[in-house]
Amino acid sequence: MRFGAPLMSDAIKHECGIALIRLRKPYQYYIDKYGTALYGANKLYLLMEKQVNRGQDGAGIANIKLDVTPGHRYISRYRSVDQRPVTDIFEKVNKKFRKALKGNRDKAKDAQWLQENVAFTGEVWMGHLRYGTHGANEIENCHPMLRQSNWRSRNLVMAGNFNMTNVDSLFDKLVSLGQHPKDKVDTVTVMEKIGHFLDEENQRVFDRFKGIYENPDLSDIIEENLDIQRVLHRSCRDFDGGYAMVGMTGYGGAFVARDPAGIRPAYYYADDEVVVVASEKPAIKTAFNVEYSEIKEVQPGHALIIDKHGEYAEQQFVKPIEKKSCSFERIYFSRATDPDIYNERKTLGKLLVPQILKEIDYDLENTVFSYIPNTAETAFFGMVEGLEEHLYKQRKKAIMDGILFEQELDRVLSFRPRIEKLVSKDVKLRTFITDDSQRDDMVAHVYDTTFEVIKKGKDNVVVVDDSIVRGTTLEKSILRMLDRLGPKKIIIVSSAPQIRFPDCYGIDMSKFKEFVGFRAAMELLRERGQDNIVDEVYAQCVAAIESGNATEQNYVKALFEPFTHEELSRKVAQIVTPPDLKAEVAVVYQTVENLHKACPNHSGDWYFTGNYPTPGGNNVVNKAFVNFMEGKLVRAY
């Protein structure tokens, strides 16, 4: 019946996740009200577990106690690269409590005793989930990072979801200030930069009050008068990148700072008991049982700043620029339990329907629709809704055209799209074999399929996934597996547009050779005798880098200009199709225009369009192409 005329699961590494909790009442209040000294720890555990999708390479927490007497430890930190790092950390926290209370059961609800004798009994909590975009998976690379001093107000604990594009210039700035940084990575340079200006702010306030107050009272006066907004402005004004950074000072002040384009996400909730920050709204809702309408977004270029008394305000520390929050958060990274993200993903699926119908020649009777679990499930639901809407219009047309035969009318009214779960992932199977030939065999069996639901040689199979980046799993596993079902044609549908350019603000997509969309453009240029374009772009990139002008323009966009969206999609299909495959293969990508229709408030699209929101992005893309041409397998930032 005819009606009308990623990386396919090559998992992209996620953004990191952040969490902050500031208890606004005295510690004893929470023990009395909630019956446990672990209220803060339990809430942080929930915040982190509900964001564990954002980082599984490692995790870390830190805790600061307010107003403990000198001689008692007031900063505690645990980090882990265990297979289940969040669980590992909080098991250790619980173990500390059990050990301290052994023989002291009568002290279990005594806040003063607990704070003097047990770690992690403070009022300010920080959590971080790590997905490493570079660096070994070692505990030293896990956040939070700690910059220590004997002055409480000079202690700094930091964690973040960020990448900086201008690490070299930031490093040089630190050296020019007289520092000797221990490493040349963005985590260290960012922390040392903020730490430097925190030190200067301490000195400024000290100089202002030193003739009026004497130590130790002067220490309290410094803590009361430190201007964290000023520290952030002076530290971050020359940062180029995407970031959501969370920091705590030794006296209990805290902040969450968001980049001026709003690339990285940060949300907060506050009431008279707590101030809470997380990378995703569902984590806050689940942990604190609040309405979504009560959860606010930290605005671009602003910081949520919490003072030592628990008072908070959102303050601008750098001038915001055009908001370009990451659309991949909406397509892939963030949990779909956020109602806005859920609806956006459904819309992404629905908007693909016209392209899909065209690709199957409107033959719905002989087409089976499915998806790759679990990330594409919501987009799949949206696609099915779109198909139902299409069928409704066709039914209405058939009736208005005057179908007279009851049998034909019954067939039109009762027809539904054929939906099957064709693909299942064997989560227990790990592709740990390092030998390439054997590893390919393992990859081919990570997925299982459902047999005997496809009419061999007659049916089309449409399979939806969230994105297609490398295409490796398509070629090695998915297409071969689906081909064994005997379909006439396999259509792979990506709810994301063609990934053409590197990301430099947080996602682990940094090298051109990884993108099947880029490979498609390069092959088309070669096939059409347009290699001169490649040479010209390479020469432009080299000249721009040498002259220091690489931040001004993305020259690599010229490689894609000769081709239509459809031409690149057809070439991708050719690239990923194994030579011995029997079925015809097509690839359907989301368009950038439809992406913006589905996610109108999250317009960051540089990995699709090459339109980077900061000058550093242009610098990175030009350097990345030079690296590709020169065979250098390194990040360009």
C-beta separation of 519 from 475 below 8 A = no
Taking residues 346-369, what's their average pLDDT? 97
pLDDT beyond 70 at 468: yes
194-222 per-position pLDDT tens digit? 999 999 999 999 999 998 988 888 999 99
DSSP letter for each residue of 542-565 = HHHHHHT-TTS--GGGGGTTTS-H
State the pLDDT at residue 436.
Answer: 42
pLDDT at 164: 83
Specify the pLDDT at position 96.
92
Number of CB atoms found within 10 A of residue 505's CB: 31
Identify the three-state secondary structure at position 6: coil
The kind and range of the H/E element at 540 are helix 531-547
Q: Average per-residue pLDDT in the chain?
A: 89
Q: pTM to 2 decimals?
A: 0.90
The confidence band for 250, taking pLDDT boundaries of 50, 70 and 90, is very high
Is the pLDDT reported for residue 92 higher than 90? yes
Q: What is the pLDDT averaged over residues 19-46?
A: 97
Average pLDDT in the 225-245 region? 95
Query: Reduced to 3 states, what is the DSSP secondary structure of residue 312?
Result: strand
pLDDT tier at 431 (50, 70, 90 boundaries)? very low
Residue-level pLDDT at 320? 97
Mean pLDDT of 308-331: 96
Split at pLDDT 50, 70, 90, the class of 551 is very high
Total Cβ atoms within 10 A of residue 441: 14
Burial of 504 (0-12, 13-18, 19+ CB in 10 A): buried
Q: Where are the beta strands (DSSP E) in 165-283?
A: 241-249, 254-258, 267-270, 274-278
Residue 249 or residue 186, greater confidence: 249
pLDDT(279) > 90: yes
Q: Would you say 466 and 492 are in contact if contact means Cβ atoms under 8 Å apart?
A: no
pLDDT(547) > 90? yes
Q: How many angstroms separate the Cα of 589 from the Cα of each of 44, 174, 442, 498, 617?
A: 39, 44, 28, 6, 24
Tokens of 369: 């629709």
pLDDT at 21 over 60: yes
Q: How confident is the model at residue 472 (pLDDT cuts 50, 70, 90)?
A: confident
When pLDDT is averaged across residues 464-484 and rounded to a whole number, the result is 88
Quickly tell me which residue has 């001026």 as its tokens: 260
pLDDT of residue 507: 76
Confidence class of residue 175 from pLDDT cuts 50, 70 and 90?
Answer: low
Segment 37-51 shows an average pLDDT of 96
Cα–Cα distance for residue pair 156/77, rounded to 1 Å: 12
Q: Which two tokens stand for residue 530?
A: 């347009």
- Asked if pLDDT for residue 66 goes beyond 70, the answer is yes
Using the predicted structure, report yes or no on whether residue 600 has a pLDDT greater than 80. Answer: yes
Per cent of the chain over pLDDT 70 is 89
Under 8 Å between Cβ of 463 and 379: no
pLDDT at 421: 87
120 has a pLDDT exceeding 60: yes
